[in-house]
Amino acid sequence: MNNFIYNTPTKVFFGKNQEDKLGEILKSYNIKKVLLHYGKESIKKSGLYDKVINQLKAFKIDFVELGGVTPNPKLSLALKGVEIAKKEKVDLILAVGGGSVIDSAKLISVGAKVDFNPWLFSIKEKTPNDHIPVGTILTISAAGSDMSNSCVITNDTTKEKRGFVSEENRCLFAILNPELTYTVSKYQTACGIVDIMMHTLERYFSSGDDTPLTDNIALGLLKAVYDAGKILITDPYNYNARATIMWANSLSHNGLTGVGRNYIMSVHQLEHELSGMYDEISHGAGLAVLWPAWAKIAYKAEIKRFSRYAYEVIGITKTNDSIADILKAIEETQNYFISLGMPKSLRELNVKESSLEELAHNTMFKGKRVLEDIIKVDYEMAYKILKLAY
Amino acid sequence: MNNFIYNTPTKVFFGKNQEDKLGEILKSYNIKKVLLHYGKESIKKSGLYDKVINQLKAFKIDFVELGGVTPNPKLSLALKGVEIAKKEKVDLILAVGGGSVIDSAKLISVGAKVDFNPWLFSIKEKTPNDHIPVGTILTISAAGSDMSNSCVITNDTTKEKRGFVSEENRCLFAILNPELTYTVSKYQTACGIVDIMMHTLERYFSSGDDTPLTDNIALGLLKAVYDAGKILITDPYNYNARATIMWANSLSHNGLTGVGRNYIMSVHQLEHELSGMYDEISHGAGLAVLWPAWAKIAYKAEIKRFSRYAYEVIGITKTNDSIADILKAIEETQNYFISLGMPKSLRELNVKESSLEELAHNTMFKGKRVLEDIIKVDYEMAYKILKLAY
């Protein structure tokens, strides 16, 4: 087991009606003025926006607003947020929405403390060491940004999508009410389930010594999500299934399922290039197509781990041919994603075959890196995976 | 799934040689003066004491000392600590040792902020709302106090052992180096394993709606500890097994394995009375004897949960008779505890049969409470469990 630092300071308020505690929570942290950050109209339609405003007013907490966050959140909007946060001297950014809104809030949070463009954090030319606290009311179970140290932003000028990790990116608090996700569309629910599974799959299929506790937790989380997803296909208002997915969203990306291991999340890196180039592609949909392709190549490097996944998560009946069992599990995983409503190929996502080379090239940061985990993903391998996923 | 608050702010530095970072860590929190709190001579013999002192000196951190913490830590010593902490104006209490040292530090930490006897927190007549931070270097994997919100103290005048939970009881940081536990005796290692398993067993065997994610994590943790314990019987210097036990020590009591459930930990309550009355009894040894007795009565109320435990943790081969399988799993659990070096009965722990009535009476706080979980533990039931464990 590798040495590790485990840091999950985010205080989680989980369950029904927890958003009604917002004012009380902000008061407990002595917050006087917030920047309310959100996406498009959905929180207004659902009534959540009004609830938030009423809480802020009732507890006499001053606020300014910045809406308009899009999927694959854009640098340009975050820079506007930085300007507002500085000018208005807010002492918390309240992200009401999904992972895109939270990630945008995170960039504002670190950007407001420096005099340069925080994109320099994204491209790792600078390292943040201070931030304005971020609190969130989560409305989509997917990215796990509410408890993660990760922030992914797309530069709308260069079309680059870049993530950076920092302990400055941890939210102060997260309000997670599974009922707020009842109205998430079937497609977006599916994208979320894939993203959640992938955060743990990419930690589990990694190199390192034996880590039985981390592995058991990882497999247990995957199984719970897999089962809950099946329920949600026919019963989107099932509270316990929504709650399972929402809590897994947090635990899958806060570090828990990978401690003690070496992981670099190659499939995520490939997907970031994909949805960076094709803005209309949802992160989860991209992952759903790319992971099975990666797995069909990578399984040979980790037969033992893939076997446990096959038997303990997917529930493949054990035969004498463990390779066949693993391949069946990978196929079954892809079929599961398809049953949730996910595409089965890059072609189905309207990706041009002619862009595969550029995607592979971009994933390698144009020759500046190689991704080495249980398999080595260099340009040729990236291209091979993309081609197989096409 | 019940609503819950999840709060695990303790920053964990896990792995080999992490204690060498002590000075750096204290500096990162801007700590100027610490109260170094520890037990008897073992940290001096092992060289850890010198390492700590050298770090404090090298980083120019002022310190005062209070050693002498015993198992079942005593109120009288904690009160001395409160006096020192107030007089010396320390800004962190550094607990170097096991759960007893940490719990003693926690009482000092909240006691130093009030003008009354902090025992009033222990008996829940007062609620803390401030504390001096506690940091720890853990030397025994057992109590999970390094990440828990719990503090258990014995009043050496009244012989009462009382625990209270509060978010003020969360440590600021915890340094967990599994190598520091190599020299823990076989007996104390076993006591620790039982305590760790019990923190999750008592959360898992509880009432509430379906909580598949919490349950899968709980069972995965139990399985990892069960397996690692078997390794340590013959190979106490196995790093990965020591690491598994140490990390499980933290996760088993930080809240993770019980979120969304209703649990009150009846067996822990019974055991607190036992080791409160018999100071020489280790908490883990008491639990090892009491839990199987409780389980033999309680399993009927939760066949489904006990079945999963039997098959997924203990590895019982499934037959058509699930009751027989469960009883076999309970017996197997007790045999496992015995194989680790634990006693098999209260008699073996030199408990007088004549004290069982008083123990049952004390567990009910002399008629002031009943413990209601999957079974109702009132005076008669407490007596029945104690008698069965005798």
Q: Residue A19 in contact with residue A137, Cβ under 8 Å?
A: yes
Residue B288 has pLDDT above 90, yes or no: yes
User: Maximum CA pair distance of chain A?
Assistant: 67
Mean pLDDT value across chain B: 96
Amino acid at position A188, single letter? Q
Query: What is the separation, in whole angstroms, between the first and last Cα of chain B?
Result: 37
**A247 and B260 in contact by Cβ < 8 A?**
yes
CB within 8 Å of A290: residues ≥ 6 apart: A267, A270, A271, A274, A346, A385, A386, A389
DSSP 8-state assignment for residue A256:
G
Q: Residue B93 in contact with residue B34, Cβ under 8 Å?
A: yes
3-state secondary structure at position B280: coil
The sign of the dihedral angle between the CA atoms of A100, A105, A106, A111 is positive
Neighbours of A246 (CB within 10 A): 27
Distance separating alpha carbons of residues A65 and A83, to the nearest angstrom? 12
Closest CA to A135 of A244, A53, A29, A252: A29
Distance separating alpha carbons of residues A292 and A283, to the nearest angstrom? 15
Distance separating alpha carbons of residues A122 and A115, to the nearest angstrom? 15
Q: What is the pLDDT of residues B120-137, one digit of tens each?
A: 999 999 999 999 999 999
Closest chain A residue to the Cα of B245, Cα to Cα: A213
The DSSP string of B239-256 is HHHHHHHHHHHHHTTSSG
The sign of the dihedral angle between the CA atoms of B190, B196, B197, B202 is positive
Closest chain B residue to the Cα of A243, Cα to Cα: B1
Closest-CA distance of chain B to residue A260, Å: 9
Distance separating alpha carbons of residues A263 and A278, to the nearest angstrom? 26
Contacts of B224 in chain A (CB under 8 A): 212-213, 216
The DSSP string of B12-54 is EEESTTGGGGHHHHHHHTT--EEEEEE-SSHHHHTSHHHHHHH
**A16 and B4 in contact by Cβ < 8 A?**
no
Contacts of A14 in chain B (CB under 8 A): 3-6, 259-260
pLDDT band of A344, cuts 50, 70, 90: very high
Angle between helices A212-234 and A322-340 (to 10 degrees): 40
pLDDT band of B206, cuts 50, 70, 90: very high
Distance separating alpha carbons of residues B75 and A196, to the nearest angstrom? 46
The mean-pLDDT minimum among A283-287, B225-229, B367-371 falls in B367-371
Q: What is the pLDDT of residues B240-263, one digit of tens each?
A: 999 999 999 999 999 999 999 999
3-state secondary structure at position B6: strand
CB within 8 Å of B187: residues ≥ 6 apart: B282, B341
Q: What is the pLDDT of residues A134-176, one digit of tens each?
A: 999 999 999 999 999 999 999 999 988 899 999 999 999 999 9
Contacts of A244 in chain B (CB under 8 A): 1, 212-213
User: Maximum CA pair distance of chain B?
Assistant: 67
Out of B9, B214, B247, closest to residue A213 by CB: B247
CA atoms within 13 A on the CB side of B346: 25
Closest CA to A3 of A209, A220, A250: A209
The two beta strands, A134-138 and A376-377, are unpaired
Give the pLDDT mean for A22-45.
96
Q: What is the ipTM of this complex?
A: 0.97
Q: Residue B378 in contact with residue B384, Cβ under 8 Å?
A: no
pLDDT band of A276, cuts 50, 70, 90: confident
pLDDT band of A15, cuts 50, 70, 90: very high
Amino acid at position A362, single letter? N
DSSP 8-state assignment for residue A258:
G
Out of A1, A13, A217, closest to residue B240 by CB: A1
Residue B389 has pLDDT above 90, yes or no: yes
Residue B365 has pLDDT above 90, yes or no: no
Neighbours of A204 (CB within 10 A): 26
The DSSP string of A200-223 is HHHHHSSBSS--HHHHHHHHHHHH
The two beta strands, B376-377 and B371-372, are antiparallel
3-state helix, strand, coil in chain B (%, to 5): 55, 15, 35
**A212 and B2 in contact by Cβ < 8 A?**
no
Residue B355 has pLDDT above 90, yes or no: yes
**A259 and B247 in contact by Cβ < 8 A?**
yes
CA atoms within 13 A on the CB side of B7: 16
Contacts of B315 in chain A (CB under 8 A): none
Closest chain B residue to the Cα of A257, Cα to Cα: B217
Q: Residue A173 in contact with residue A136, Cβ under 8 Å?
A: yes
CB within 8 Å of A20: residues ≥ 6 apart: A51, A55
Closest chain A residue to the Cα of B15, Cα to Cα: A3
Out of B2, B14, B221, closest to residue A217 by CB: B221
3-state secondary structure at position B106: helix
Q: What is the pLDDT of residues B11-52, one digit of tens each?
A: 999 999 999 999 999 999 999 999 999 998 899 999 999 999
Distance separating alpha carbons of residues B390 and B385, to the nearest angstrom? 9
DSSP 8-state assignment for residue B312:
I
pLDDT band of B77, cuts 50, 70, 90: very high
Tokens of A330: 């990978």
pLDDT for res B274: 94
Distance separating alpha carbons of residues B39 and B97, to the nearest angstrom? 7
Residue B279 has pLDDT above 90, yes or no: no
**B224 and A239 in contact by Cβ < 8 A?**
no
Contacts of B252 in chain A (CB under 8 A): none
Closest-CA distance of chain B to residue A213, Å: 5
**B6 and A16 in contact by Cβ < 8 A?**
no
Mean pLDDT value across chain A: 96
Which residue reads 């199984």 in tokens? A223
The enclosing H or E element of B79 equals: helix B75-88
Counting Cβ atoms within 10 Å, is residue A319 exposed (0-12), middle (13-18) or buried (19+)?
exposed
Q: What is the pLDDT of residues A180-190, one digit of tens each?
A: 999 999 999 99
Query: What count of residues does chain B have?
Result: 390
pLDDT band of A207, cuts 50, 70, 90: very high
Contacts of A240 in chain B (CB under 8 A): 1, 209-212
Distance separating alpha carbons of residues B323 and A11, to the nearest angstrom? 41
Residue A121 has pLDDT above 90, yes or no: yes
Q: Is the pTM of this model over 0.90?
A: yes
Residue A365 has pLDDT above 90, yes or no: no
pLDDT for res B220: 98
Tokens of A299: 């399984």
Q: Residue A67 in contact with residue A38, Cβ under 8 Å?
A: yes
Q: Residue A301 in contact with residue A321, Cβ under 8 Å?
A: no
Contacts of A211 in chain B (CB under 8 A): 240, 244
pLDDT band of A367, cuts 50, 70, 90: confident
pLDDT for res B366: 87
CB within 8 Å of A47: residues ≥ 6 apart: none
Distance separating alpha carbons of residues B219 and B205, to the nearest angstrom? 11
Which residue reads 């908490």 in tokens? B283
**B14 and A4 in contact by Cβ < 8 A?**
yes
Distance separating alpha carbons of residues B72 and B103, to the nearest angstrom? 9
The mean-pLDDT minimum among A2-6, A348-352, B39-43, B194-198 falls in B39-43
Mutate one of A10, A213, A235, A259 to test the B interface: name it (highest B CB count within 10 A): A213
| Residues forming a β-bridge with A218 | none
Give the pLDDT mean for A242-263.
97
pLDDT for res A380: 97
Contacts of B4 in chain A (CB under 8 A): 12, 14-15
Q: Residue B215 in contact with residue B269, Cβ under 8 Å?
A: no
